[in-house]
Amino acid sequence: MSALSTAAPATAKRGSATWRLTKAEIKLCVREKTGPLWGVGFPLVLLIILGNVPVLREPVEAGGGLTYFDLYVPVIILFNLAILALTALPTILAGYRENGVLRRMRTTPIGPARVLAAQLVANLAIALVAVTLFLAVARLGFGVRLPQNLAGFAVGWLLAAAALLSIGLMITALAPGRGPATAIGTVLFFPMMFFAGLWVPISQMPPLMQSVSHYTPLGAGMQAFQEAAFEGHFPSAQPLLTLAGYAVICSVVAVRWFRWE
């Protein structure tokens, strides 16, 4: 009985410490400005600009009434996740390592899993605000229909966010400093966005590149978004399993090889 009574306060104390750490990370992410400015502000401005381009408001041939702008809304949502995961998150955590913040945390019972989880939750909260804002602006400002299958879209978004943020955590864990972490994230960002259809819609890519796209994090995310938003059914297993695989593998690598200094 005494053991149980001792374990309960200890568990509650650890939970409280984790929550305080998460709140602090959210404040620091907002103060850092990389996530809010480039991850939310820039995509929002881009969304508004694209929405005011007349040619993008014309229906796509064989698109079932969809316009090019309709197709770009999911790409903008993935753009937000990619910026947060590959730029904002590695920059902040690698900066902690360079400044000795992580070394001081090492002397506490926090552990790498909680440090990474706090950053994951902080960036996920920013991404949630962003996706809500993007969908609201697209709907109210430009008449874009909300996803036909909201539950499927939400599941696809959560898995895409988990996959990309896990990749960002892995980059941070393996990169020796802020400079290398930022460089690796930038190098990964452009090909990932290409396979998401930022420059060329996935449907217009050669068959081989389409197949490759479906097994990349952003390509799989785009496939899940399109199935839920435009086709109206729950995303198929392939993109969801691909995203879940990236999330699990990269998270395990990030925790296993996390470096405090």
Structure tokens of 43? 């995509």
pLDDT of residue 8 exceeding 60, the answer is no
d(CA 115, CA 126): 17
Give pLDDT, residue 212. Answer: 92
Q: Which of 107, 116, 102, 104 is nearest to 252 (CA)?
A: 116
pLDDT of residue 224 exceeding 70, the answer is yes
Give pLDDT, residue 76. Answer: 93
Give pLDDT, residue 164. Answer: 94
Q: Token pair 């996803």 is at which residue?
A: 147
Q: Token pair 């694209």 is at which residue?
A: 50
Highest mean pLDDT range out of 47-61, 122-136, 152-166?
152-166
Structure tokens of 90? 């590695």
Q: What is the pTM of this model?
A: 0.85
More confident residue, 204 or 190: 190
pLDDT of residue 167 exceeding 90, the answer is yes
d(CA 245, CA 51): 34
What is the residue-averaged pLDDT of the chain? 84
pLDDT of residue 49 exceeding 90, the answer is yes
Sequence-ordered alpha helix ranges (H) in 52-110: 68-83, 89-98, 101-105
Give the mean pLDDT of 230-247. Answer: 95
pLDDT of residue 63 exceeding 80, the answer is no
Q: Out of 81-90, 130-139, 227-236, pick the least confident.
A: 81-90
Give pLDDT, residue 221. Answer: 95
Give pLDDT, residue 236. Answer: 95
d(CA 251, CA 54): 42
Give pLDDT, residue 39. Answer: 77
Structure tokens of 108? 């506490």
